Each structure stands twice: as C-alpha cells, then as structure tokens.
C-alpha cells in the first residue's frame, strides 16, 4: 500500500493547466479536504471529475488493483487531480537549475564533447568568477572532471580549450523531467504543457 501512496499524481489548476506533480498520499489528502477533484478520462476521450464521495463510490463500483485499503473502505489511487481554487501558473521559462543545465547540454562536456554520467560532470564558469564571469545561462556549461581540471581558473582560450557550442538561455519547453514512456503517466499526456518546477541556482555554483 505504501508504494501506491508514493506514486506520482499530476496536479492541474482550476483552468485545467498542469502546474505540478505530487504524491498519491498528498492527492488523496487534498481530495478528502475538498481542495481537489479526481480527473479521469473515458474511452471516448472525455474527462470526468469526482469529489471524494463520488470517487469513493466509483472505487467501490469498479475495483482497481492500484487502490488503498482502509478499515472501512478501499479507494483507487488517482493519476490526475484538479485543484478547485488555484488558477495561477508557473512562469513560462526554463529555470536556471543544475538539472536544466545538464538537460540543455545533454550531459555532454562542452569542451571535449564526450557524454558522461551526471556524477562525472561539473558545472564550469566559462569566464571564471574571479575574472568577472557571472553565474548565468550564458556563462555556465557542463564540464568533465578532466577538462575542468585542465581549464582550472582560466578562460577556454588560455587553457587551449574550445567550446562545443556557445552557451545560451534555452527556450521554454514543457515538463522536461516527466518520463512519458512510463505506463503510469499515460493519463498525463493530454495535460503536459508547462515547465518543470525546480529550485533556481545562485552564485554558489562551482
């Protein structure tokens, strides 16, 4: 049961726009409190909403293997919920995060061009910070440990290195973290249209 409670649930605002992902446990709490409704599509492509009582009754009528059992009843784990009050949206931009820099550079060292596991990559200031280089999209790139060591506290030209491509602020694109190949996310596809939320980077980037 605990594994079902940790399953990801897509969260829509009241305008039916995808704004976040939460756990099934959180989704069921919001449903019980009356802050959200379950969204479920039918075979005809229509979407229906259920409040807690309606979802409870639906779960009883149509048992599903992905259900939570309590002492008195069982309830199906939702895959998509709709917030009944919230209508705001995230900013339509790719936030400046480590994850998104790795995404932009496709886990490729921007000096030697090789692809590495993320644990073997650093984030490098093209123009070093103590030379006035800012912590921005245009001055941060993925770098392997070998190239990072070779470059040290120098510019690429000073270290005899060349950038694979000039770093740029990427264009906004939707939910880059969501893996749509997973079966459990099939019901999300209609709603995926906003950028993945993450914590923005500051000047602590190395």
- pLDDT for 176 equals 38
Domain ranges of the chain: 2-89, 98-159
Q: Is the pLDDT of residue 99 over 70?
A: yes
The gap between the terminal CA atoms of the chain, to the nearest Å, is 41
List pLDDT tens digits, range 116-152: 999 999 999 999 999 999 999 999 999 999 999 999 9
List pLDDT tens digits, range 19-58: 788 889 999 999 999 999 999 988 787 889 999 999 999 9
SS3 175: coil
Long-range contacts of 144-150, Cβ-Cβ distance < 8 Å, separation of 24 or more = 144/109, 144/111, 144/112, 144/114, 144/116, 144/120, 145/120, 145/121, 146/112, 147/109, 147/111, 147/112, 148/122, 148/124
- pLDDT for 88 equals 60
- pLDDT for 188 equals 76
CATH fold of the domain at 98-159:
DNA Binding (I), subunit A (1.10.30)
Residues 6+ apart with CB under 8 A from 111: 141, 143, 144, 147, 151, 156, 161, 162, 163, 164
- pLDDT for 192 equals 63
- pLDDT for 92 equals 58
pLDDT tier at 197, thresholds 50, 70, 90: very low
CATH fold of the domain at 2-89:
Ubiquitin-like (UB roll) (3.10.20)
Q: Is the pLDDT of residue 185 over 80?
A: no
Whether residue 7 contacts residue 78, with contact meaning beta carbons closer than 8 Å, is answered with no
Share of the chain above pLDDT 70, in %: 80
What's the mean per-residue pLDDT of the chain?
A: 81
Tell me the Ramachandran region of residue 106: left when phi exceeds 0, alpha when psi lies from -120 to 50, beta otherwise.
left
């Amino acid at each position: 049961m605990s594994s079902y409670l940790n399953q990801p649930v897509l969260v829509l605002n009241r305008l039916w726009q995808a704004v976040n992902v939460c756990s099934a446990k959180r989704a069921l709490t919001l449903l019980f409190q009356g802050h959200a409704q379950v969204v479920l599509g039918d075979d005809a492509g229509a979407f229906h909403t259920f409040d807690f009582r309606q979802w409870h009754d639906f779960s009883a009528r149509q048992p599903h293997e992905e259900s939570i059992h309590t002492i008195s009843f069982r309830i199906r784990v939702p895959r998509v919920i709709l917030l009944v009050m919230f209508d705001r949206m995230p900013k339509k931009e790719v936030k400046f995060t480590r994850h998104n820099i790795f995404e932009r550079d496709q886990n490729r060292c921007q000096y030697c061009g090789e692809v590495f596991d993320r644990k073997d990559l650093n984030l490098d200031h093209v123009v070093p910070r103590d030379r006035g280089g800012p912590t921005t999209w245009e001055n941060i790139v993925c770098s392997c440990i070998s190239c990072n060591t070779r470059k040290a506290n120098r510019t690429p030209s000073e270290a005899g290195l060349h950038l694979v491509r000039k770093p740029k602020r990427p264009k906004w694109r939707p939910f880059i973290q969501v893996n749509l190949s997973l079966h459990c996310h099939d019901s999300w596809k209609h709603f995926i249209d906003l950028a993945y939320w993450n914590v923005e980077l500051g000047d602590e980037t190395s």
